[in-house]
């Protein structure tokens, strides 16, 4: 049953992202959440944002660097306390005006209390081209 609950939690987070409701996302995190965004170093919203208080910085950097045009979760795979989501992301670099259309994989790990313990983000390499 936790698997269905966890998938729903991830879907709720994506809905909050679509509304720009970052506090609703942060509310679901454990205080000591591990938040890692694996990108080429040129991407300004890549890196480590560990701790509930640091996660909003990721969203600030993301919003400052790109205009999100399409955020489309397409598949969810759940096993135990882990949810892997796969989807499509289209964005336009604010400074470069270039557009990236690529795929992503996010890995969410939950604690027994339903809080998010860790998050990892992977994107296709093309997103770095927005910043070169």
DSSP for 2-20?
A: HHHHHHHHHHHHHHHHHHT
pLDDT in tens, the chain (132 residues): 599 999 999 999 999 999 999 999 999 999 999 999 999 999 999 999 999 999 999 999 999 999 999 999 999 999 999 999 999 999 999 999 999 999 999 999 999 999 999 999 999 989 999 999
Q: For residue 34, list its beta bridge partners.
A: 118
Report the candidate in 84, 92, 95 with the shortest Cα–Cα distance to residue 121: 84
Cβ contacts of 116 within 8 Å, gap of 6 or more: 9, 28, 29, 30, 33, 108, 109, 110
pTM of the model: 0.95
pLDDT of residue 1: 59
d(CA 30, CA 107): 15
Domains present along the chain, CATH in parentheses:
2-131 (3.10.450.50)
pLDDT of amino acid 125: 87
């Amino acid at each position: 049953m936790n698997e269905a609950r966890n998938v729903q939690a991830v879907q709720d987070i994506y809905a909050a992202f679509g509304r720009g409701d970052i506090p609703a996302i942060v509310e679901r995190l454990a205080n000591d959440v591990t938040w890692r965004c694996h990108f080429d170093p040129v991407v300004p919203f890549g890196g480590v944002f560990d701790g509930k208080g640091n996660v909003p910085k990721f969203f600030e950097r993301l919003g400052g660097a790109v205009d999100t045009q399409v955020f489309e979760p397409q598949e969810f795979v759940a096993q135990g306390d882990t949810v892997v989501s796969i989807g499509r992301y289209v964005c336009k670099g604010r400074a470069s005006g270039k557009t990236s259309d690529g795929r992503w994989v996010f890995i969410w790990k939950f604690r027994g209390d339903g809080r998010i313990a860790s998050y990892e983000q992977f994107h296709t390499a093309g997103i770095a081209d927005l910043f070169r």
